[in-house]
Amino acid sequence: MRGLFLLITLLVNFSTLPALAAAAPWHEPHTLLLAKAAGVPEALEEPVKVPEPSAQAMRYYHSGNILWIVTIGLGLLVPAVFLFSGFSARIRTWATKLGRKRYFILVVYLVIFNVLNGLLNSPLDYYSGYLRPHEYGLSNQSVTKWMQDWLIEQGLSLGGDILLLWIPYLLLAKSPKRWWLYTGLAAVPVAVVGVLIAPIWISPLFNHFGPMKDHALEAKIQILANQAGIEGSRIFEVDKSVDTKTLNAYVTGLGDTKRIVLWDTIIARLQERELLFVMGHEMGHYVLGHVFQTLFFAAILLMVSLYGVHRMAWGLVHRFKRYFGFDQLADVASFPLLLLLLNVCLLVTAPISLGFSRYLEHEADRFGLEITHDNRAAAAAFVKLQQGNLSNPRPDFLYLFWRSSHPSIGERIDFANTYRPWEKGEPLQYGHLFKTTARVP
């Protein structure tokens, strides 16, 4: 974890933005959007079974749990070492000699801290980002490409900290009792700006975003987007196959930056109807306004976490100031302490944020089913996602509680098999948001 910039990054990565166009109300029953071939065998309408995970998938699942624990532990250990060894205070002293003004002291400190912290974390980053995906056959990435991406990530993290961390430190100096509240509020508009610029300036640093090669499929996605009320969206195909064999797609941006993005891996692996359901799911995030819900919810959790940091930090400074080398939180040497406590608070509140995320993902699944009426394609898409991403379809409770931002694949396949209100003449929960009954050809 690297301070306020990472919090903003998490908000931006999770967020999707709603279409602002008004939706026409329904005056007639919803019609099937994805035309099915005549004479489809009845067997095709049987429920899709949840596949048993392969031995490799279970090894990936269990090793991932261990890696998660190690990552959490390192995220607590590294700032604790900087703090209790007094090394953070020594970095502050070096920074003070190089820069006299408060902001320049902060910049010098952050450069030194980020470089050292990045080097300490680099072995784990290399294992989790390069060695492990190759070990399980999930990566096509060359070591040169991984190194290039890692350096870009480090540069973005440092640049973001330099641009943003003056905010909480200024607030700590000016309002030591309310800095946590004002910092949480300040994070929201910064996150909105991040949503605006990330599709244009950040994501293309890692991969090439180009037009879709399959123009017929592009036309069908555009029809589905119009149906969902997302008019004028540009559709991009990303060459993620240079990095990974896993599958993904998303809708992001706002205004002129609004775009539908598909990894080339998901285009290659999914059949057309399956892919259209996935796009319906991603459009659901956009249309249902999940970005605003997420920002509001995350801002509350962030302020609660920062308040926890505030309450714990002063007591620790008073007790251990001889080891820390500072007696004020407004001292930039307190950065590892704030980071350590923030990591603890975010770990404690993780089940709440993950539970909210799972709810949003479930509703996006519902939206995708309602706009396509293609249950079998949805369930089949989840099966391929399970197999392509080496997922455990029925993880244990602790995994869902502490790690999972999505419902389990097994739950999603079960829901795709059973959710059919249109067959019972029941109203659709999101049918009023759809703008036309035109079929996708």
Catalytic residues: 282
CB 281 within 8 A of CB 364: yes
* Long-range CB contacts for residues 4-7, cutoff 8 Å, separation at least 24: 4/160, 4/161, 4/164, 4/165, 4/167, 4/168, 4/183, 4/187, 5/156, 5/157, 5/160, 5/161, 5/163, 5/164, 5/165, 6/157, 6/160, 7/187, 7/302
Bridging pattern class, strands 259-263 and 249-252: antiparallel
Among residues 414, 434, 313, 269, the alpha carbon closest in space to that of 368 is found at: 434
Q: Distance between CA 367 and CA 23 in Å, rounded? A: 14
In Å, the largest CA–CA distance within the chain is 80
Q: Distance between CA 439 and CA 372 in Å, rounded? A: 9
Q: Distance between CA 278 and CA 282 in Å, rounded? A: 6
* Long-range CB contacts for residues 244-247, cutoff 8 Å, separation at least 24: 244/133, 244/138, 244/139, 244/140, 244/141, 245/137, 245/138, 245/139, 245/140, 245/388, 246/138, 246/388, 246/389, 247/384, 247/385, 247/388, 247/389
Q: Distance between CA 304 and CA 312 in Å, rounded? A: 12
Indicate the DSSP class of residue 429: S
Among residues 154, 169, 69, the alpha carbon closest in space to that of 113 is found at: 154
Amino acid at 369: L
Q: Distance between CA 77 and CA 344 in Å, rounded? A: 11
